[in-house]
Chains A and B, each alone.
Chain A
Amino acid sequence: MSAAVGAERPQVVSHVQQALSYTVFDCKWVPRSARLLCLGSAARGTGLIQLYELHGARLELLREIEKSKPIKCGTFGATSLQQRYLATGDFDGNLNIWNLEAPEIPVYSVKGHKEIINSIDGVGGLGIGEGAPEIVTGSRDGTVKVWDPRQNDTPVANMEPVQGESKRDCWTVAFGNAYNQEERVVCAGYDNGDIKLFDLKTMSLRWETNIKNGVCSVEFDRKDINMNKLVATSLEGKFHVFDMRTQHPTKGFASVSEKAQKSTIWQVRHLPQNRDVFMTSGGSGSLHLWKDSEGSEMGVAGSVSLLQNVTLSTQPISSLDWSPDKKGLCVCGAFDQTVRVLIVTKLNKI
């Protein structure tokens, strides 16, 4: 399929490959720059943050920061464009916000969870959307907590299991529906296949469903608009696209599901410049680029078509991030201890 060069399909070009000496769990572009961050865990059990800059055909290491606990995930979503503070969740359940210019002491720190923070998301920063900047973390202890960097020690929202209920690991969280100062929604995916949608304005559970496979990654197509589309990926190579525009009182949201590959789909990321295009990364080391087409009527989910697929690695690609500044530039980190910078071409023609 990737040999169809003559046709006007987007091509995934591998631009730079960088071998690392540690396991990389998350990679993120630093907004408004050609720099990227790799977060991970070194062999001796400490956390590493590495800052790279893209120089021609290679990555130059600008800075390396070592922390006491391995770092699982990070986001720039809740900081302003001038500050560009990184919020990270680590293996011990600590949420820290770092100023990368002076990383010795965190700007904000809280031991938010009893177990590893699996996923983190931020909203309200980077000049996108309105409302207070907030960070949400999902952890293996079954709770999802929303933090405001101005308020220490206590979360502003806490989604925890009922007393006496056995907990399920929360694997992924995402913000959405943040189109004005009051509205905000958090979507969380758990390992037993549950997807829950919490409304932060009314502080209630708005919708839940079970997709029969552990949920690896959820993402709204845009955080800062009225809820439009939610993509949830899971084990067994399946992903579901939910149409979030209309909610049926009993049936919930309409969805379309695709089985893309035989292995787990680890991540889904929407292209910041075109919310109908998203990329999924799989356990077989492959990346698939999809285009979503709108449903004809309200409440009818559209269909998803595969634009391109490419296999880059033999190990799962666990993290993926599009650059918000250059269309088609993305970075992915895989469990074979390499981080790759890719360029997806011909995205203008979609």
Chain B
Amino acid sequence: MPVWLREHSWRQTLTAVYLSLPLRGARATPANIFCSEQYLKVSIPPFLFEAILYAPIDDTNSTAKIGNGNIFFTLYKKEPAMWDALTLENADKEKLQYLRENAVLKAHEKAKEETEAKKITKQEHKKYALEATMKLEEAERKRIEDLKEKERQKVAKELELWKNQQKNGDKYKSIQKKGEMHQEIEPLKERKSEKISKTRISNEGPSKTRLKSTKGSHGSCSIFSQNLKEEQLPAPRAAATIKVNFTPRVFPTALRESRVAEEEEWLHKQAEARRIINSDLSELEDLKEEEKNPDWLKDKGNKMFAMGDYLGAVNAYNLAVRLNNKLPLLYLNRAACHLKLRNLHKAVEDSSKALELLTPPVPDNENARVKAHVRRGTAFCQLELYTEGLQDYEAALKIDPKNKNIEKDAEKIRHLIQGTVQSS
């Protein structure tokens, strides 16, 4: 139960009410005071003071001063009138309750409004700041542009000035030239005729005379100065040739560092191919043209296998492999031959090589891969390496699960393994 504070005292003027509330030793902070339009509460547990005011007050402007063991309220009335009493006397519980709730609600609303107002002002401040920075940046940019413009104009002016100087300089020179020309024309005319007659006599080609005379007709004064200079210039150099060696380069294109790696690779591949073709050239000379074709040899090998000539087939496949060692089918078929010939290790090798060449595993080379696995599996089993063989058969089954033969054989091998395990 709260302890009610009742020793308050108050006085009023037309517009304000002054309320003094002594606190019995309790310390008050602004958080303990709750005030709305018509409701005033001070709650410092366990003390409590509340008052339903006689008339509404302006709670935003009213103040509360905490100090000296009491709180001094200055409440400004909404309507200037003299109050009969501070509080409404005959307030029953319900009314009190209602008023209290109202007050709280009102306080909430006020708080909300205040936050709203704060937000709006904050946004406006931000906007203002942004605009200010933008303006500053614009000003900076403009300044730079102006500087650039000024430079440009200055430079253009200088250029004009210089050009005019040039023109004037040229004018003077041409005037001078004209003056000189008039002076020189007489003796020069004589010189010209001399020159022309000289060239005719010296029997040089017609092109040369034309050249000389064109030279003579233009800029007559320049002949004069040029002759002088020609006497000072050394004679043309004695003709000679210098032989040049270039850093060797295979490609006709220009050398670029970024392409060097690619070019090396290409050259390497070319060299490989050439080597294969050219190796054992002497042996291959007596073979006919068709016999140098790996595909033809493969067909020949297949035929011999079908007829039962396993050694012959192996020979054919060998030659084919020497010519082109990147065809998986050759190894595959050779593995089959070795199986028939009971060269089991060779069969294993060949099937392995075939499998290597048959990467990447795609649906296209499924058949080949199944065959390779089966053949290797068979070879392993005949070597009594049953576990390896089973592995291969299972790989084959994985690729082609529908093949009954493989399944049967795999079962057989499993039994065999289990049999040996049991017995050992």
Q: Check A54/B159 contact, CB under 8 A, given A156-B239, A212-B257.
A: yes
Whole-angstrom CA separation of A156 from B226 in the bound complex = 21
B contact residues around A158 at 8 Å (CB): 239-242
Instruction: List A191-218 residues whose CB lies under 8 Å from chain B.
Output: 191-194, 196, 198, 200, 203-205, 210, 212-214
Stretch at the interface among A19-27, A97-105, A220-228, A268-276: A97-105
Interface stretch of the complex, out of A162-170, A247-255, A282-290: A162-170
Report whether B214 and A5 are in contact in the complex, using a CB–CB cutoff of 8 Å: no
In the bound complex, do residue A191 and residue B254 qualify as a contact, i.e. CB atoms below 8 Å apart? yes
A200–B246 touching, CB < 8 Å:
no
Tell me the complex Cα distance, A343–B245, Å: 42
CB-nearest residue of chain B to A186: B242
C-alpha spacing A162/B256, complex, angstroms: 24
- Whether a CB of chain B sits under 8 angstroms from the CB of A3 is yes
B245 x A82 contact (CB < 8 A): no
The answer to whether B255 touches A165, judged by C-beta atoms less than 8 angstroms apart, is no
Residues from chain A with Cβ under 8 Å of B214 in the complex: 102, 105, 107
Contact assessment for A160 and B243 in the assembled complex, using a CB-CB cutoff below 8 Å: yes
Query: Which of B214, B241, B255 neighbours the largest number of chain A CB atoms within 10 Å of its CB?
Result: B255
- A302 on interface, CB distance cutoff 8 Å: no
List the B residue with the shortest CB-CB distance to A56.
B160
Cα–Cα, bound, A168→B246 (Å):
7
Within 8 A of B (CB), among A113-167: 131-134, 142, 146, 148, 150-152, 154-162, 165-167
Residues of A within 8 A of B169 (CB): 32
Which of A82, A142, A198, A329 has most chain B Cβ within 10 Å?
A82
Interchain CB contact (< 8 A) of B249 among A6, A56, A168:
A168
A192 — which chain B residues lie within 8 A by C-beta? 246-247, 249, 254-255
Contact B236 A148 (CB under 8 A): yes
Q: Does B187 contact A (CB under 8 A)?
A: no
Q: Are A196 and B255 in contact (CB under 8 A)?
A: no
Q: Which residue of A lies closest to B253 (CB)?
A: A191
Distance of A345 Cα from B155 Cα, bound (Å): 8
Does residue B258 face the partner (Cβ distance < 8 Å to A)?
Answer: yes
Determine the main DSSP class of A at the interface with B.
loop
**A203-B240 contact, Cβ under 8 Å, with A5-B144, A101-B218, A345-B151:** yes
- Given A34-B166, A80-B226, residue A162 in contact with residue B245 (CB < 8 A): yes
In the bound complex, residues from chain A placing their C-beta under 8 Å from that of B260 are 212
- Are A236 and B257 also in contact (CB < 8 A) when A132-B236, A154-B239, A326-B159 are? yes
Are A15 and B156 in contact, with the CB atoms below 8 A?
Answer: yes
The reply to whether B144 and A3 contact each other, CB–CB distance below 8 Å, is yes
| B208, CB-defined interface residue at 8 Å | yes
What residue in chain A is nearest B249 (Cβ atoms)?
A192
Judge whether B367 is part of the interface by a CB distance below 8 angstroms.
no
Of the A-B pairs whose beta carbons lie under 8 Å apart in the complex, a sample of 12, sorted by A's number, is: A5-B144, A15-B156, A146-B237, A148-B236, A151-B236, A156-B237, A157-B240, A160-B241, A167-B246, A192-B246, A213-B257, A235-B255
Binding site for A on B (CB under 8 A): 144, 147-148, 151-152, 154-156, 159-160, 162-163, 166, 169-170, 208, 210-211, 214-215, 218-219, 222, 225-226, 229, 233-247, 249, 253-258, 260
16 more A-B residue pairs beyond the given contacts A162-B244, A165-B246, with a C-beta to C-beta distance below 8 A: A15-B156, A34-B159, A83-B219, A83-B226, A102-B214, A105-B214, A107-B211, A146-B237, A154-B239, A156-B236, A159-B241, A161-B246, A162-B243, A167-B246, A192-B247, A236-B256
